[in-house]
Structure 1
């Protein structure tokens, strides 16, 4: 209940600090002036009668009270100046013989503000000024109060300084936390943007690999079917069957990619599934499609073949797929060879052909397209090496080396150098 009552006042004070300070200054001034007016009418109050050695309040004392209290309205803007003015007015007030106990509290509030907003060195200057003011007040006051008065002043000054310094440390800590939170938020946004960009590149690469390979096969088979449609119906029917099968396969892979894009995070545990990504276990189907398109392909496997991590397996499959697609598109009549060499810690993939290697070096797809660029990106992503170019005796060659890891390893590919995983 108390919190609900105080909360609106805290919000008001946070949003309107000047109004709050004006109210405080008026309250301090009003209380002190009211005491002076009461004492002027009844001198015996607080033992302030002339026979006790004090000068009765008058217009000049009230003017000094205004000078000592009203500057508190600007304590947040110039706290040390306000403190010094308040102390100077109080010293003059006490030196003229007015009651030593009045106008001593406003400097403490100013000291709190100095300690909360300024350096400890300035706060020490303000504390010394207040101690001087209070010592002077007790010196001109009744005899015998100096020692106890100085101790009391020291305690009150220490309390005001302690609260102010604590507020300053809390404000600094809150500011640093806010800056750190903002920096972390920017870093998270940058990471999210990089992740989105990387995912877009991966999706674009997948789409290119799927569409380019299968459409190349379909284009070759369609041209063959049209060429032999009247003269060799059997060959034409076989070509059309290959087109139908290849179209079905590309549609299946497109559906797999789209299902990955459509799946929501909360659906992952609800039985939503999609076909696994292709790997080297489907190399035979890939080679058969290329053979049916008119390119003789020979596959050689050296070493002990073993299961690969999903990401590396997909990368190896796409490398072979893109290389054979380039053979279809650029080599003309050619024979191709696919060699897989399993070493203890790496897999070497070599795809060669005996087609028009020198012309392919200048082919648009090799220089400006996405074929070799996509392969290089894939290989770099898995910290492998790649070399591609014409062979000395004619034809073209792509050699890729991929580091191998355990097939049970996380499917996520390693991040490029200088980046961290989200």
Structure 2
């Protein structure tokens, strides 16, 4: 019931204020008729303008609570000074103004205005009639009746502040959830883009090199051209199979009865990768230093993808059609270095356009397992990709600091 009245008052504020003003004036009239002290009867006719002022002040108490309280308190002071008892009916306009003051302002303002109102009304009430049997009503009663609307208004203010706080927290939580959802979507898009790039870019670069070489040798070396075209078919088939496998992983659900996934590629497939590069005309030399250590699946996949992308770049850009892969194991990390001696300055294979996303993907992969990667030109010429990966994945914050060159090719 109270909630319904509050909602109606909020939707129809002017109507509610007008009804409150009329009710306050009616209460004041009845309070004046019954609130007569036997020892000090009031004047036969009390000023009608007091009633008018009180009504107008009550109407404005929602928009101007301080001014409304001053006017209604002054009117009540006049009535009590004339000898009327400060009953709740007589004090209805003041109580209404006090309620709105407590509901709409801060506690300090309520304390100052409320104390002043009580002091004035107590003084005028005691001055308007001699001390008698109604002394308790004029003192304790006045204080209690004035404290009631202050308490109700303060409770209303605190309740409204609590509701607003809850709504603000809910809105903040909703914004946070939306931001987290957008962040997860962006991260997922980046992961999908990286997976698709890793699955397709190497095979497409090799196929591009094979097709360019075949076109260059078609007229002079038909047998070699046919062999290269056969290798090209194998390269594109491998690209389709890996793309299909990648899409299958991305679309896979958490179905316990689903078929097991094909193992992710790792360094055990490095000979196959070297052979594919050789079919595209890139000679790859692999050197291993130290005792090979078992790698976690994530680090093993990261190492393979970094070497794959580095050799893809070498296939597109190496002028001597040669690259070197160096794997060095120490007590805690695997160091990968892929180098070539320069970029093409002519030849049968046209350049493959790229935006540097491969290097960015390599860095992201290295950082995701707690490793580090740098890539850039070598002082003696050529290009170098160097990565340091832990045997077991770590958070990026635990990874050793290292230089990060932002060069892209």
TM-score, L = length of structure 2: 0.80
Give yes or no for the alignment of 1:207 onto 2:203.
no
Alignment CA distance shift 1:271-1:13 (3 Å): farther
Task: Tell me, yes or no, if structure 1 residue 268 matches structure 2 residue 254.
Answer: yes
CA contact (8 A) 1:332 1:356 kept: yes
Q: 1:63 and 1:99, CA in 2 relative to 1: closer, same or farther beyond 3 A?
A: farther
Residues 364, 130 of structure 1: CA spacing in aligned structure 2 closer, same or farther, 3 A cutoff? farther
Displacement of 1:317: 1.9
CA deviation digits over 1:31-60, x for unaligned, max 9? Answer: 434666xx5xxxxxx4849x76423664x5
Cα distance in structure 1, aligned partners of 2:203 and 2:344: 25
Give the corresponding residue for 2:283: 296
Task: Report whether the alignment pairs 1:89 with 2:75.
Answer: yes
Would you say the 8 A contact 2:96–2:149 is kept in 1? yes
State how 1:391-402 maps to structure 2 within 5 Å: 391=378, 395-402=382-389
Task: Give unmatched runs, 5+ long, in structure 1.
Answer: 40-45, 418-422
Aligned counterpart, 1:129: 116
- Offset of residue 218 of structure 1: 1.1
For residue 139 of structure 2, what is the aligned residue in structure 1? 150
Whether contact under 8 Å (2:370, 2:397) holds in the other structure is no
Counterpart residue number, 2:317: 330
Separation in structure 2 between the aligned mates of residue 286 and residue 48 of structure 1, nearest angstrom: 108
Note the C-alpha offset of 1:414: 5.1
Matched ranges for 1:201-350 at <5 A:
201-226=190-215, 235-259=224-248, 262=251, 267-269=253-255, 271=257, 275=262, 277-301=264-288, 302-310=290-298, 312-350=299-337
CA offset digits 1:148-194 (Å, max 9, x no partner): 54223333333332332233233333333433443444344344334
Task: Give the SS at the match of 1:401.
Answer: strand
Distance 1:19 1:285, change over 3 A: farther
Aligned equivalents of 1:368, 1:219: Cα separation in 2: 17
Match of 1:108 in 2: 95
1:67 has 2:63 as partner: no
Between the aligned partners of 1:258 and 1:237, the Cα distance in structure 2 is 32
**Higher relative contact order at CA 8 Å, sep ≥6: structure 1 or structure 2?**
2
> Given the alignment of the two structures, is residue 22 of structure 1 paired with residue 18 of structure 2, yes or no?
yes
* Distance change >3 Å, CA 89–CA 35, structure 1 → 2: closer
Output the TM-score relative to the length of structure 1: 0.77
Distance 2:352 2:230 in 1: 28
Q: CA 1:80–1:389 in structure 2 vs 1: closer, same or farther (change >3 Å)?
A: closer
**Gapped regions of structure 2 (runs ≥ 5):** 400-409
Distance of 1:103 and 1:403 partners within structure 2 = 84
Aligned length in residues: 391
Q: How big is the shift at 1:88?
A: 0.4
The 2-side partners of 1:8 and 1:172 are apart by: 19
Match for residue 371 of structure 2 among 355, 377, 384: 384
* Cα distance in structure 2, aligned partners of 1:18 and 1:261: 61
After superposition, the Cα gap between the structure-2 partners of 1:269 and 1:13, relative to the gap in structure 1 and judged at 3 Å, is farther
* Contact 1:290-1:324 at 8 Å conserved across structures: yes
Partner SS for 2:292: coil
